[in-house]
Amino acid sequence: MKSNQKQLWIGVSISVICLAAIFFFIDPKEIWGSLKTVRVGYLLWMGFGLVVFLVVRAVRWQFMLGQHRIPWRQVFHIQNIGYMLNMVLPFRIGDIGRAILIGNVPPATLAGGISTMVVERMLDMLFIITLLPFTLATVDTLPLWMRDGVRAFGFASIAGILVLVIAANQRPLTTRIITAVFERTPYLNTQSWLKRIEELLDGLDSLTRLKDGIILGGLSILVWAPILFAYYVGLLAVGISLTPLHAGFIVCAAALSVALPSSPGQIGIFHAAVIAALQVLGQPEGASASFAFVYHAINLTTMVLMGLVGLAGIGATFANVVETAQRFMQRKPTNS
């Protein structure tokens, strides 16, 4: 727990530094002036895009859990509860809560829920890294260090996907390797851990069939289309007129910023990344900061509201879900 507390304080410190830097380098009067001219109609379209994003994302998660035949409505509500918790609480507790909740819907398992979320993250990162080179073509002033960082993320994502695909398709080989490693590790019950690994690989089943892989790739593209739309109309709301590719560049910058430690909801880090991306594109400082604050506020509000609807939909309470997730995080590893 001490390491978690240290991580939290580091994240909060970085968020505070980012916010302080924003208001130091950008005149708050410029931000306020831009906020007063925001066109509300575009904000409604932004919220619509975020809801569609959640709908399509739940379709993809349901497909990944396909062998368990979980009703889409349950998947949708559980997913949204997880996003809400991640937005308001530290340590990405929403991911744990989401895995536990889906694992309590037979015949799904906790390990299966975790493995599908791992694949989700890898697919999302792969999409961002694939999109980024096209958006970079519109940026003439991008620093070399940033391009090198993007390449590093790209190679890491592709390597991760390849490892998962190989593990899912070569289960006997994967089992032999894991068995050899575990048998050389003291105080571990090899058979018990092998069972857990098998459950984990079950969640990667969608990566073992070409047809399912193609469908999963198509759904991953559809997942991000509403986000690109939300960014595009959000920019119009603050008077910034850019191309869809420019909006894609900002999406990529925001998505990559998630890898950095911050307070819950990516406060500060998200704003700094979005503003920096817009500055690279030569946009006014006040309007850039205005967009970052407006988008984050609409996104936070949408996720919290949809999460509350999710709690009502499955008959759970905020406190119970958080308590269950915290108990899981605090449990001591066992040898059995």
Residue 34 lies in a domain: yes
Residue 336 lies in a domain: no
Residue 76 lies in a domain: yes
Global pTM value = 0.85
Residue 211 lies in a domain: yes
Grouped pLDDT means (10 residues each) for the chain, 336 residues: 74 92 95 95 97 97 80 96 94 91 87 84 84 78 70 72 78 86 80 77 70 86 96 97 93 88 87 95 95 97 97 95 89 54
Quick one: tokens of 169? 């398709």
Q: Does the N-terminal peptide bond of residue 133 adopt cis geometry, omega within 30 degrees of 0?
A: no
Residue 25 lies in a domain: yes
* Cα gap 8→221, rounded to integer Å: 32
- Residue 319 main-chain phi, psi, to 5 deg: -65, -40
Q: How far is CA 271 from the centre of its chain?
A: 16
> What count of Cα atoms within 13 Å lies in the side-chain half-sphere of residue 262?
24
Q: Considering its fold, how many domains does the chain have in total? A: 1
Residue 155 lies in a domain: yes
Residue 335 lies in a domain: no
- Residue 254 main-chain phi, psi, to 5 deg: -65, -40
Identify the domain containing residue 322 by its residue range: 2-330
Instruction: Give residue 1's pLDDT.
Output: 52
Instruction: Give residue 67's pLDDT.
Output: 59
